[in-house]
Structure 1
Amino acid sequence: MVPVEMEVDDPRGWDFVDWVGPDASASIFRSLDDPADIVRAAAVSRSWRRFVVENEFSKSICLRICPEIANFTSAEEVSRSPPQPPHAESSHGVQRKALERDYRIYSYLSGALVSNSPSMDCILQCIGASSTDNFPDETIENTLIPHDRVKHRPSYWSSGGHDDPDTPETLTYRLNCDMCIVDEIKLQPFKAYFQYGHPIYSSKAVRFRMGHSKLPHGSDSFVTVEDENLMAIADENYVWTYTSPEFPMLQENVLQSFKLPRPVLCIGGIVKVELLGRVQKQEADDRYYICICHAQVRGRSLSPVFMVDTSDPAGYSVLKYLPDAKILRSEDAMLDDGSESLEWHSLVARYRRMRHLAIMNVLLGPEEFMDEDDIIGGVLMDEDDLGGMLEDDPFV
């Protein structure tokens, strides 16, 4: 714990940083692993705050927690009020303001990264699958339903058949926010109870990629009952900022949990599930298939307080910090009376559209897909069924 009782600003006293020296002090500060300790240190005195800000300790601890933060080329604070006209100031003053801004952004981000808020399923929509055996009956969209039977019919995604058991497949999903901490992914292989021997079409192993689309916002496309959306899943359309190790998959019809080695910051809200290798042949055609009946990406949203701009054609991303979004009301997100900055309103509106769609998917999806005797399709749905979306959400 950082000592706080020294009168470091008293000219008759002494300052720990000056006494130990800047190099040794920096080593001590960098050994702190709790973001709150960095904030407490900055509150000790003006000289300590200057030392913390100038050495960017808050950004350093963010990088240790989530190395994906290195993908941000810069961080910007987006105010709700329109920006003030710039006024002349020295280069030193400009640099000082930039350092203070970065300290505010990364100190708040570091606290959000280590928050113990509960996780939820973050999948919003299906972008596409690398192949589908019988579209649309065996579409990837079936993996969003937590049942392997719907209206007394099987519900699952099936790959195309292959003679080579090493042929991989992919499932690509859009999450419900730009910035999401992901710690776990769950997959359930499908058990073909209508085939002889009840075979289970699992993969040998799985791997996960996370990143963002290179396409402009608003031009995203998703699977529909008429369109497999195969063009959208090409790797050249994405920047992958994280790749997981491989995990073995069991040939069992259970929801299998794949816990990531550490929480991962998904920048841009795209997750690709790579299904590596096949283990089960279909007796009818003697070809290998992979079938998944349910998928979840478990994590927690950092939006709308944190958003990301990925519009740079070179694939760079800019972290956007919206401090005023912490105290939003639902009507604030919908009204535009001209008193808000255009960028703030645009970012919040984008988040609101995603949250609205996520809630509609949960509220209306069961009515369309569930059996009559599924209790979740009735009026007994509660906040847990909504994945925590009702709690402290200004957009509901």
Structure 2
Amino acid sequence: MSTMEYHKDFITYLDTDTCLKILMCLDDPADFVRVTCVSRSWRHSVIANGLCKQLCLRMFPQLSRFAFVVELNQHGTKEHEEVGSSYSMEWLVLQREHRVFSYLGKALMSSVAMNCIAKTVGASSTDNFPQESIDNTLEPRDVISGRYSYWSSDGQSNPNVPETLTYELVSQICVITEINIQPFQAHFQLGSPIYSANSVRFKMGHPKDSLDAFDEELFVWTYTSPEFPMSQENRLQKFKLPEPVLCIGGILQIELLGRVQRQEMDGLLYMCVSHVQVLGGSLSPPFNVDILQPSGMFVLKRDQLANHQPVVTSGNESQDVSDEQRGLGDIQRIVTILRAQGVGVVEDEWDEDEYDIDDFDPEFAL
């Protein structure tokens, strides 16, 4: 086989559907960025078919509600769009989506675990306010200044009356993997009863911008978890979601279902929680969202100035090197390696000047 034949681009010999099936086998956003470095035809195929966006949608179906993407420059404003033909404008949109979803894919796969609760929103009921407020659930200690710290519901005679605890997360776009809850044990009562629920369920969504004065529901829920059984034990119980969930809107609600413990003093059933953790990662500041009311669709915004910053800091300082300097060097090294190994880089199709540096994040290649 001659050298010229060895470097033929297989994509030019296959139909579009077959090419897409091959490329869609990739399951890492970094792979798509590397593919765009191989040749002009490969780059065009990835961008024109929105493969980075499709991968993100496979990973997190909640992204299917996005309306369009926006890139913000260093001044916090939208990048200027040049006027041109409908085809050129459509291509600019596809390139923008490719850039945004490439960075988003990397962020979704590299976020560092943290407690994502920013503050409490409210509880469906509280027995003694503010002594037994939902705010107490943010404190991991059971006793503070000689006083027990916990939230308590109102007492009910019906065991099926549910309760809810609602929290605002650290940003409007978070990846949530696990919710941990510790029921409260009343050591000051006879027998030290534990006021757990029978089971729990979790909802995620965003505030509702409703003008209807009779609309009592304040939130739109875009995700509802399966129901998890809760043990009547005084420990931090871990409820891992079946798959990581992208919370768009920054609101999480815990549903406590089924009362199991009566208070001896009044014979009523209560639920009490001493501590709550919501584990996951924030995608802000590089990413943010605007919710479009009343449709519930959202605008995904990427801050270009935050490209070099880690999604969630892990304590390590990042090197102060510009994206362009790092990106150009890494692109050239990748092309050199691919050519040296003879993996199909098409010499007559590669145009280094054509490649948009902003499409490439050097961290993908590390």
Q: Which of 38, 54, 72 is matched with 2:66 structurally?
A: 72
Deviation (angstroms), 1:391: 5.8
Match of 1:144 in 2: 138
- Residues 244/41 of structure 1: CA separation in 2 closer, same or farther (3 Å cut): same
Q: Which of 47, 53, 56 is matched with 1:59 structurally?
A: 53
1:303 aligns with 2:284: yes
- Secondary structure of the 2:307 match is helix
1:28 aligns with 2:22: yes
Counterpart mapping for 1:280-291 below 5 A = 280-291=261-272
Match of 1:277 in 2: 258
- Residues 391/311 of structure 1: CA separation in 2 closer, same or farther (3 Å cut): farther
CA RMSD of aligned residues (A): 2.5
Whether the 8 Å contact between 1:120 and 1:388 is mirrored in structure 2 is no
- Residues 39/279 of structure 1: CA separation in 2 closer, same or farther (3 Å cut): same
Distance in 2 of aligned mates of 1:11 and 1:312:
56
Give the aligned residue type for 2:58: R
CA offsets 1:99-145 (integer angstroms, 9 cap, x no match)? 00000001111111111x43111111100000001111100000001
1:173 aligns with 2:164: no
Gaps of 5+ in 1: 1-6, 217-233, 329-386
- Secondary structure of the 2:141 match is coil
- Secondary structure of the 1:321 match is strand
Give the aligned residue type for 1:122: C
Match of 2:105 in 1: 110
Whether the 8 Å contact between 1:127 and 1:173 is mirrored in structure 2 is yes
Q: Which of 167, 173, 183 is matched with 2:177 structurally?
A: 183
1:312 aligns with 2:293: yes
- Residues 11/46 of structure 1: CA separation in 2 closer, same or farther (3 Å cut): farther
Gaps of 5+ in 2: 319-366
1:207 aligns with 2:211: no
Deviation (angstroms), 1:235: 6.5
Distance in 2 of aligned mates of 1:114 and 1:300:
10
Distance in 1 of aligned mates of 2:58 and 2:80:
37
Q: Which of 145, 148, 156 is matched with 1:162 structurally?
A: 156
- Secondary structure of the 2:293 match is coil
User: Which structure exhibits the higher relative contact order, with contacts defined as CA atoms closer than 8 Å and separated by 6 or more residues?
Assistant: 2
Q: In percent, how many aligned pairs have the same letter?
A: 49
Q: Which of 121, 125, 132 is matched with 2:119 structurally?
A: 125
1:135 aligns with 2:116: no
Deviation (angstroms), 1:33: 1.3
Deviation (angstroms), 1:326: 3.2
Distance in 2 of aligned mates of 1:321 and 1:71:
16
Distance in 1 of aligned mates of 2:62 and 2:80:
34
Give the aligned residue type for 1:108: Y
Give the aligned residue type for 1:273: I
- Secondary structure of the 1:133 match is coil
Please say which structure displays the higher CA radius of gyration: 2
- Residues 84/77 of structure 1: CA separation in 2 closer, same or farther (3 Å cut): closer
Deviation (angstroms), 1:84: 6.6
What is the count of residue pairs matched by the alignment? 312
Give the aligned residue type for 2:104: L
CA offsets 1:222-247 (integer angstroms, 9 cap, x no match)? xxxxxxxxxxxx87321212111111
Match of 2:235 in 1: 254
Deviation (angstroms), 1:288: 0.7
- Secondary structure of the 1:114 match is helix
- Secondary structure of the 1:134 match is coil
Distance in 2 of aligned mates of 1:164 and 1:98:
56
1:193 aligns with 2:184: no
Greater mean deviation of Cα atoms: 207-216 or 18-27: 207-216
Whether the 8 Å contact between 2:171 and 2:284 is mirrored in structure 1 is yes
Distance in 1 of aligned mates of 2:132 and 2:18:
61
Deviation (angstroms), 1:313: 3.0
Give the aligned residue type for 1:300: G
Give the aligned residue type for 1:106: F
Q: Which of 38, 42, 50 is matched with 1:48 structurally?
A: 42
Distance in 2 of aligned mates of 1:209 and 1:57:
29
- Residues 28/193 of structure 1: CA separation in 2 closer, same or farther (3 Å cut): same
- Residues 190/389 of structure 1: CA separation in 2 closer, same or farther (3 Å cut): farther
